[in-house]
Chain A
């Protein structure tokens, strides 16, 4: 990153946020960056990976760095919508129903193994995610702003699970795979203090109101016509591929541009470049494609990512 790019004040603060979270979440700079991209683009993040690689840590570290509240829900097959959204209980003393907000009323929500619960519960969460409000007993309650869902899906064990169908996956702006840390990074993790302890000592870098203004600024990043053409060409290409049953929807192309804007902003620029689109193309597009394949699990994810990567290598980039 050159000094010129960090000249702007918001750019510097975002950079410090990234640095702080990366100190906790060692070795996965791109995942941290994409998480912040999702936050600034007002989107949500789907993490498809095995347990134990620090998803909770990521959520907590981010929440502490921006003074946000953080909740975690472990999805199980007997989880009910009210366990997420909240429930109205009768207050005996006041003889009235009183709403007890569920864990969804937080700024950052970690929905762990979302595919373990029934579709009914899943859709309760997904609807709240897209509408940014919860309606119960005829009362509409807005969710906190900013609101970021980090959902995880375990692609390895899918016996007795309800994997999210592609149409629902569309609600997530980005899908990432974290993967295991490299041996060096893993050693670094082991050498230092337990990250779970360190995260408690993190100082906030940005306030929530600052995040809100940054979100607005990220939405105003300039995208030139050539880049819009590139986005359209990418979307068009997915619709023509024989191996793809259903290509990228216009909502998908919108998401691509939104994510690219946020990515440029995280990079400290107020204009998009082709590299922004390439950086977010796989996380934005791969989970939105309906492949004509019988593969399941990780292989399916790898294949859809391969399709997008192939497109990036065949379409000429504006330069």
Chain B
């Protein structure tokens, strides 16, 4: 019968999983989903392979002298692995067997006290195992061993014996006891007469022996078990009589109903007599026996576990560096303390005393609650506390509560999972997984000293749980994050939904090098659904803010006074705002052009009031009656910021077209677009003239300058050169992010007399086929230039693709890290419910179009297939076929004939023949198998003969 239950560690991990999934559900954070998937996979793999680990393991009793009923004694048991793979970490009543090879046996001894005289069936004696990760305790007791308990044999007085059914046969001395005939040699006991020492034997063996002499004969006695009402009493009496006889040195014979034990003497014979008595009557029928259970295995690999736990602590501490809000410098400064923990571990102290540790903890906690939370915010304060807990567990004396430390490590890593989106997390995740797997393996009794035996299976199963985790991650349904007012959100785990200063995206502040190294965020910023949807979606520019004034470092817009026409009336724009005119549900900024298209735009919380549109905005429809205005740079704004997000429909002309036609005095604005920063290096002008030199028209100048920038400058999000200004970008570093390119194009064009402005927004290519919309992420935030050519504003994107200018290793490295990061952000971090549905929808659609299947789909299917195959292979792995005879054995197993591991094929064949004469061919087959395996091999004839023998056996078996 198989049974299983979760262990304490398992329950702890289940709770951790619950915490993780709740946090993931409430925040939508995919790294929490990863952690959760891993935990679930670990549970499943642990359960399935733990169950398999006990398959075909049988436990049986070994022949051993029966111990007295009711007294605790050691019983030898044999564990046999009939399976085809090794079994690990088996446990029988506290006796551990670290590894049991396929087909091998191991003898263990358990201390038991048997309640019944005669045969006891130990139904509750089972093989247990917590392999591989100590999350489940599996139990297998398919074969209950049967053990023999002999009756008590009390010492009885001589007078009582006659009444107990003992008769003395024949002549001879009546008593045993001291005499002068040599009886035997035995080990010396204190108090023995030194004259009796057997010196020869003593000298030869090194142990002191004494000779024992008995009175001659000792006589012969017969003990009869009389039929009696109280069988147990009669048996006890007979046992007492047997014992008395043997101790007297007599030859004793036992007569029980239906059985006779012939004359014999000595302690061995007494055992025989008692065993015969044990089997009288009820004793011959195995009775169910419940035996007291011993204490479970103690954790004896404390030292290894301590080391693993400390190393894991360091790893988790290192992962705190991933939290961008935390200041790295103090963390770094604390690292030596952790290493000191390791050093102390080697030295064995002196540790921080318990009292000092507690006092310090109280101070830190108070500081965290009353000061840190207010000063640094909940997120950072919580991280500080976690860092402290890690330090504390590392520096205090080990108290054996490794489970608690492991839990602290989990919580710390959980926090890190919630608070970072960095690609580096993946490395830490793998490391943490390896640490957790090792820790769990140690926690359930794997030993460091025989790591060779369990390292491979545990590694294999860890990889399996990783693979299964990927599948679970992909298919766990994502839901819309619920609620911001929960503990998970309070701890900052929902960071993906909030603005964080370290993450760059769309901004209203354009300053060169403002961000330093740009960290990309996959936060969804917008969703743009063109109406009607395009047949073949192309990348689009989503237009946000625009600027015209550059001071050498940053771009601003100066409010302009201008006249504009809306409807039939002419208005003066105060503060540069041209208000929209309400027409039905629409707010119109000018007359319809006829080329307008509608875009349903959803803006997720962004701290701005810009009206995003594709192309030149003409009208907007928003349900609440908020006013909107446009400025002289063709950007629209709502009158209030929409911090909590907004949905609206924008009508826009996708061909950017003329400057907003409603503005009447456009000429007065032109010079604004030719403004140059004061103190601009002359080389800029020279460069502009050189580039534009031969061009005849403005349009040619624009393309010449754009192409030059695209071809001779490189894109990089890394700020290795500090915050370079425009001149440094143009003449020195020659690499930068999109703002540098947009600025350079704008200024160079202004040098040759082309009016320009800088536009920020998003360059979007991520089309969601399922939802029919573009997904716009913060990482796609972009800046480009618009140039006024022939009275029309045209889009000039001077930013090259990532692949330009890859000369040095650094560039090459950056390129791949960039590409990896982009994948990580869009495929892992940004895998939300829409992406999930889209993925599956895309795969389904693609499969319907076979054979023209997309490469991405193929890759996905191949990966999924690979993972499933790996799991299947693990579950069905078979060791190498041992050839002909193994096939015959498998045939024999069908009729209940199995070869025990210690039996050779020939012995097995003979036994099979003895049982079933028709199986005689097995013997010849065994000989042929021997010749094949141990001898020179088989000739073609012999092989054919073996095959025909195998067929004969198959026929017999059927």
Residue positions of A touching B, CB distance < 8 A = 2, 4-5, 159, 163, 165, 222, 224, 226-227, 269-275, 278, 294, 296, 299, 312-317, 319
Contacts and interface: CB of A to CB of B under 8 A. Distances in A.
A274 B930 CA distance: 9
A274 B105 CA distance: 17
Interface string B201-224: 100100101000000000000000
Given A275-B907, A296-B185, A314 B935 contact: no
Given A159-B182, A314-B105, A275 B906 contact: yes
B882 A269 contact: no
Given A2-B924, A222-B934, A294-B187, 14 more contacts: A163-B204, A269-B935, A270-B935, A270-B936, A271-B934, A271-B936, A273-B906, A273-B934, A274-B905, A278-B904, A299-B268, A312-B902, A314-B106, A316-B105
Given A273-B906, A278-B904, A316-B104, A226 B885 contact: no
Contact of A317 (B882, B903, B936): B903
Interface in B172-191: 182, 184-187
Interface string B891-906: 0000000010111111
B933 interface: yes
B321 to A, nearest CB: 50
Nearest to A278: B904
B931 A271 contact: yes
Contacts of A275: 904, 906-907
B930 A273 contact: yes
Interface of B is mostly: mixed
B204 A319 contact: no
Given A275-B906, A275-B907, A294-B185, A319 B882 contact: yes
A314 B934 contact: no
B645 interface: no
A294 B186 CA distance: 6
A227 B933 CA distance: 11
Interface in B99-119: 101, 103-107
A226 B207 contact: no
B934 A227 contact: yes
A316 B204 CA distance: 36
A122 B107 CA distance: 40
A312 B927 CA distance: 20
Contacts of B185: 294, 296
Contact of B204 (A5, A165, A270, A314): A165
22 contacts: A2-B924, A4-B927, A165-B204, A224-B934, A226-B933, A270-B936, A271-B931, A271-B935, A273-B935, A274-B906, A274-B934, A275-B904, A296-B184, A314-B78, A314-B105, A315-B105, A316-B103, A316-B104, A316-B902, A317-B902, A317-B903, A319-B899
Contact of A224 (B182, B201, B903, B933): B933
A275 B107 CA distance: 23
Given A165-B204, A275-B904, A296-B185, A319 B885 contact: yes
Given A159-B182, A319-B882, A222 B935 contact: yes
Interface in B185-201: 185-187, 201
Nearest to A222: B935
Contacts of A270: 935-936
B902 A272 contact: no
Contacts of A273: 904, 906, 930, 934-935
B924 A314 contact: no
Contacts of A272: 934
Contacts of A312: 902
A319 B103 CA distance: 10
B107 A314 contact: yes
Contacts of A4: 927
A4 B941 CA distance: 13
Nearest to B207: A294
Interface in B902-934: 902-907, 924, 927, 930-931, 933-934
Q: Of residues A272, A275, A299, which shows the largest number of chain B Cβ atoms within 10 Å of its Cβ?
A: A275
Nearest to B910: A275
A294 B204 contact: no
Interface string B452-484: 000000000000000000000000000000000
A163 B204 CA distance: 10
A317 B187 contact: no
B209 A294 contact: yes
A135 to B, nearest CB: 28
Q: Of residues A227, A272, A274, A319, which shows the largest number of chain B Cβ atoms within 10 Å of its Cβ?
A: A319
A226 B934 contact: yes
Interface string B933-955: 11110000000000000000000
Contacts of A227: 934
B927 A2 contact: yes
Contacts of B101: 316
Closest 5 pairs (CB-CB, A-B): A271-B935, A316-B901, A274-B904, A316-B104, A273-B930
A313 B187 contact: no
Nearest to A311: B902
Contacts of B924: 2
Contacts of B936: 222, 270-271
A170 to B, nearest CB: 15
B931 A317 contact: no
Contacts of B204: 163, 165
A222 B209 CA distance: 47
Contacts of B906: 273-275
Contacts of A271: 930-931, 934-936
Contacts of B930: 271, 273
Contacts of B907: 275, 278
A294 B268 CA distance: 13
B284 to A, nearest CB: 25
Contacts of B105: 314-316
Contacts of A226: 933-934
A159 B101 CA distance: 48
Contacts of A2: 924, 927
Q: Of residues B101, B207, B905, which shows the largest number of chain A Cβ atoms within 10 Å of its Cβ?
A: B905
Q: Of residues B186, B904, B934, which shows the largest number of chain A Cβ atoms within 10 Å of its Cβ?
A: B934
A65 to B, nearest CB: 28
A296 B209 CA distance: 11
A227 B904 CA distance: 12
A273 to B, nearest CB: 4
Nearest to A2: B927
Nearest to A223: B934
B628 to A, nearest CB: 84
A294 B198 CA distance: 12
Contacts of B927: 2, 4-5
A226 B929 CA distance: 14
A275 B931 CA distance: 13
A273 B932 CA distance: 11
A299 B269 CA distance: 13
A269 B927 CA distance: 11
Nearest to A274: B904
A292 B268 CA distance: 17
A29 to B, nearest CB: 16
A239 to B, nearest CB: 16
Nearest to B187: A294
Contacts of A313: 902
A29 B409 CA distance: 71
Interface string B4-44: 00000000000000000000000000000000000000000
A224 B932 CA distance: 11
Contacts of A5: 927
Contacts of A316: 101, 103-105, 901-902
A201 B513 CA distance: 116
Contacts of A274: 904-906, 934
A272 B933 CA distance: 10
A317 B934 contact: no
Contacts of B78: 314
Contacts of B934: 222, 224, 226-227, 271-274
Interface in B389-433: none
